Amino acid sequence: MRSEGDSWDITTSVGSTALFVATARALEARKPEPLAIDPYAELFCRAAGGDWQAVIEGSLLDHPLLTSDFGEHFVNFQGARTRYFDDYFRRAAGAGVRQVVILAAGLDSRAYRLSWPDGTTIFELDQPQVLAFKSYVLSQRGIRAGAERREIAVDLREDWPQALRDSGFDPAQPSAWIAEGLLIYLPADAQQQLFTGLDGLAAPGSHVAVEDGAPMPAEAFEAALQAEVEAGDGNRIFHQLVYNERCAPADQWFGERGWTAVATPLADYLRELGRPIPGPDSEAGPMIARNALVRAVKR
C-alpha cells in the first residue's frame, strides 16, 4: 500500500513496476515480428535475478506476464506503447528539439537505443535507487548513452522543476517530455502539479507525450484490491501500488492550456498494429479499454 513520501528500489513497491514493464519489453522483443525492440530490457531482468530472470528463462510459467488472459495482452500493450513513444521522440527530434525530459524514467533505455541528433541532452528523473540500478547494469557492460544523459534523482511529488533547472535544463528552449507508465502511481493532486510544472518549463514548440488511463469504477477497484491482498502473491501487487485517480484527461488538460493535443485510444492503436484486443471479460480487457496514448505540441 502507498503512503505519502514513500520510496523504493528497483525490486520493491513502485520500483518493481519498472522491472515489470521492462520484462514485458524483453518478451515482446523475442517475437518474430516485434512492435519494438529494447535490447537492454533482458539485461535488466537478468541483473535483477530471482523471478525476473526466471520469467525470461521460461521457468516461472504462472507469472502474470506469461498468462494468456493478461500477460499476452500486456506484452502487446508494452510493445505498442514503446513503438508509439519511440515514434513520438523521432518526430520531436526531427522538429529540432534538443532537450528531452523522461519523467519516471525507470528502465527506459531510449537514451541508449534511439539515435539522437548531436547536441541533444536527455534528463532522466526517477527515484535515486532506480536510476542507480539502470546506470550500474549498463555501465558494467560498457553501454553508453547516445546523447548527453543527466540523471535527476528526485521524487516527482516534490520540487522536481527546480531540480531539473539545477541540472541545466533551459526553459527558454523547446523540450520534449514523456510521462509513460507514471500517472497512475501519483495521486490526482500530484498529477496536477506534474502537468503544471511541465507546462511552466515548456517553451513554445515543446512536445509532450503521456500514457493516460481513466480510473476504474470505484467498486471494481476495491474488489480487485481486496482479492489481490487476500491472494498475497508478490508478483500480483498492481492495485496496491496505484492511486485510482485522475486530475483530468491529459489531452483535455493540455488542450485547454495552449497545446494542440491528440489522444489515440490504445485499443485503436493495437488494432492498427494488427494485435488482438482482449474482450471486456478478460483480465486485460478493461485495462486496455481505459488507456490512451496522448501527444501534444505547445503553440
Ligand X SMILES: C[S@@+](CC[C@H](N)C(=O)[O-])C[C@H]1O[C@@H](n2cnc3c(N)ncnc32)[C@H](O)[C@@H]1O
Residues that bind ligand X (CB under 6 A): 14-15, 17-18, 21, 104-108, 126-127, 130, 155-157, 180-182, 185
> Measured between alpha carbons, how far is 92 from 198 in angstroms, rounded to an integer?
16
Q: Smallest distance, Å, CB 106 to ligand X? A: 3
Cell of 95: 522538429
Q: Which is nearer to ligand X, 97 or 101 (CB)?
A: 101
Q: Which is nearer to ligand X, 108 or 251 (CB)?
A: 108
Is the Cβ of residue 153 or residue 203 nearer to ligand X in the bound state?
153
Give the residue with the Cβ less far from ligand X, 2 or 91. Answer: 2
Beta carbon of residue 15, minimum distance to ligand X (angstroms, whole number) = 5
Q: Which is nearer to ligand X, 203 or 241 (CB)?
A: 241
**Residue least distant from ligand X (Cβ):** 106
- Coil, strand or helix at 115: coil
Residues 116 and 27: beta-carbon distance below 8 Å: no
| Segment holding 100, helix H or strand E | strand 99-103
Q: Least CB distance from residue 249 to ligand X, whole Å?
A: 20
Nearest residue (CB) to ligand X, 127 versus 205: 127
Residue 247 and residue 210 in contact, taking contact as beta carbons nearer than 8 Å: no
For residues 1 and 49, the answer to whether their CB atoms sit within 8 Å is no
- Consecutive H or E run containing 15: helix 15-29
CB of 293 to ligand X, least distance (A): 12
Closer to ligand X by CB, 213 or 278: give it: 213
Using only the alpha carbons of the chain, give its radius of gyration: 18
- Cβ proximity to ligand X, 42 vs 108, nearer residue: 108
> In angstroms, what is the minimal distance from the CB of 256 to ligand X?
25
Beta strand ranges found along 224-274 (DSSP E): 259-265
DSSP for 178-233?
Answer: EE-S-GGGS-HHHHHHHHHHHHHH--TT-EEEEEEEPPPPHHHHHHHHHHHHHHT-
Minimum CB distance to ligand X, residue 79 (Å) = 12
Q: How far is the CB of 227 from ligand X (least distance, A)?
A: 21
Q: How far apart are CB 21 and ligand X at their closest, in Å?
A: 5
Spell out a b/e string for 27-49, using b for 16 or more CB atoms within 10 Å of the CB, else e. bbbeeeebbbbbebbbbbbebbe
Cα dihedral 255, 261, 266, 267 in deg (nearest 10): 90
CA-angle at 107, arms to 105 and 113, nearest 5°: 95
Spatial separation of the C-alpha atoms in residues 131 and 280, rounded to whole Å: 36
